[in-house]
Amino acid sequence: MAEQVEEPSVRPSDPWRGPKFLTAKHNGSHTWQVIAGSATLGLAVAAGAVLAAGPWDNGQRKAERALAAAADRTGGAHHGRTTPEGPRPAPSAPAVLPALTAGKAAQDPAGLRAALTPLVDAPGLGKKLAASVVDTATGEQLYGHGATTPMTPASTIKIATTTAALSVLGPDHRIATTAALSPDSRTLTLVGGGDPTLAKADLRAMAAEAAHALREDGEDGENPAGPVRLTYDVSRYTGPGLHPISPNENIAPVTALMIDEGRLDGSDRGPADRTDDPAGDAARAFAEALEKAGVQVAGAPREARAADEARTVATHRSAPLSALAERTLTNSDNDLAEALARQTAIAKGEKASFAGARRAVTNELKKLQLPVGGAHFADGSGLDRKDRVTPALLTALLARAADPDRPGLRPVLTGLPIAGFSGTLDGRYERDAAGTGLVRAKTGTLRGVNSLAGTVVDRQGRLLAFAFLASGSTSAAGAEPALDALATALTGV
């Protein structure tokens, strides 16, 4: 029987495809009333987002836009006239939004306890709940309920996976897929780099590059030696490719070469039928693209490592890691999470396997001075029930991502689903719910396990990080509203 896991929304915001424009939704999730009713609170959220998100906002660098604007050295009171020292503030435009914590009173832990205590015993949460709430500006724990208890995190473990990857590789890192040509120009090898988002269109572009290189090697622009043999190299990853819960519609075999995450139905998120041979499928798609580009391919593609002396004739690079991390969190993308864990392992000098990724992620979080005691990263996606994290670790991760001195970690915050609007929280909050648009959190769901970890801005204007991990629940339908109520309570204290 397939493991019960959360089913990501089919309409989350997608940082690769531009903004999601809200339209009327008769079940009450999205209406203009939400936007109008949240305008005042939106100012506070915007203030928090400016400080917490830093230069990152859905994978885009705000700093670059600011630099472009400043380059003209115009504006302000001079209304477009160039000034050597840059624009001066116009008298009619005083500062509107202060810094998030400027002049703000510290949160009262007693008030927080009073708000949360009646909610932690909700029957829907099951047999056990562990919780942590911290002030991200100070790192102070404001509320703890078994905060250092190791719990099964389900998909909230993706917060740890993406933080480690961003810390090691940086937000601008891209995963390369290459095609290597043997010295005699008779064997072309498709070399997987570990990008599960590789698409057929990307292979067509690579085939065109490879065809051009082959024509240059030939006489009079002809393919030099007739048909080429096509091989594919998946040696970048080691160890078992099947996740412990496989075969499963929530994850494809973990391999260094695949297209469209091994999906067979044309979808790009959520559960789907998966191929049992993602690397072979990718190679066959590349062979077809080569034929269309005018290259004859002899026989069927076979697995083989690229020769040491082979030269790269085509390259495709993934979207930057910032976008991959956001997509991992927004859509709860299991395939991407496992890929990022292995990329972290490679960068840390570990084997690109489940075991190597576990060591790499653990060691990187230790390097960030995070409380990893009791943590166990059996996988990068949270599908494995052997995973363990503490609520205190999750809130520490979120606080570190909010650290102004670590802007490269900001995609961990900007990728969190928004209550009632995006990703796995798209349908979780009604239009009139107090937390709609204000709670940003990663969800987690396995059979009997439910979790929620993210951020809110409280009434004092402080950015709080929270983690609520529950186990022993009888149904997600009962646990999720109880978790949402806990997160919503933080917006009103």
Q: Which residues are annotated as catalytic? A: 155, 158, 332
Strand stretches in 290-416, DSSP E: 297-303, 311-317
The count of residues in the chain is 493
Backbone phi and psi for residue 101, each to the nearest 5 degrees, phi listed first? -105, 0
Return the number of other C-beta atoms located less than 10 Å from residue 95's C-beta.
Answer: 7
Q: Which residues pair with 222 in a beta bridge?
A: none
Strand partners, 298: 229
> Which helix (H) or strand (E) covers residue 176, if one does?
strand 176-181
DSSP class per residue in 99-151: -TTTTPPPP-HHHHHHHHHHHHT-GGG-SEEEEEEEETTT--EEEEESTT--B
Nearest CA among 313, 329, 254, 334 for reference residue 13: 329
Q: Which residues share a beta bridge with 463? A: 457
Which residues make Cβ contacts (< 8 Å) with residue 405, sequence separation at least 6? none
- Per DSSP, the chain holds a count of helices (H) and strands (E) of 13, 12
Cβ 51 vs Cβ 448: under 8 Å? no
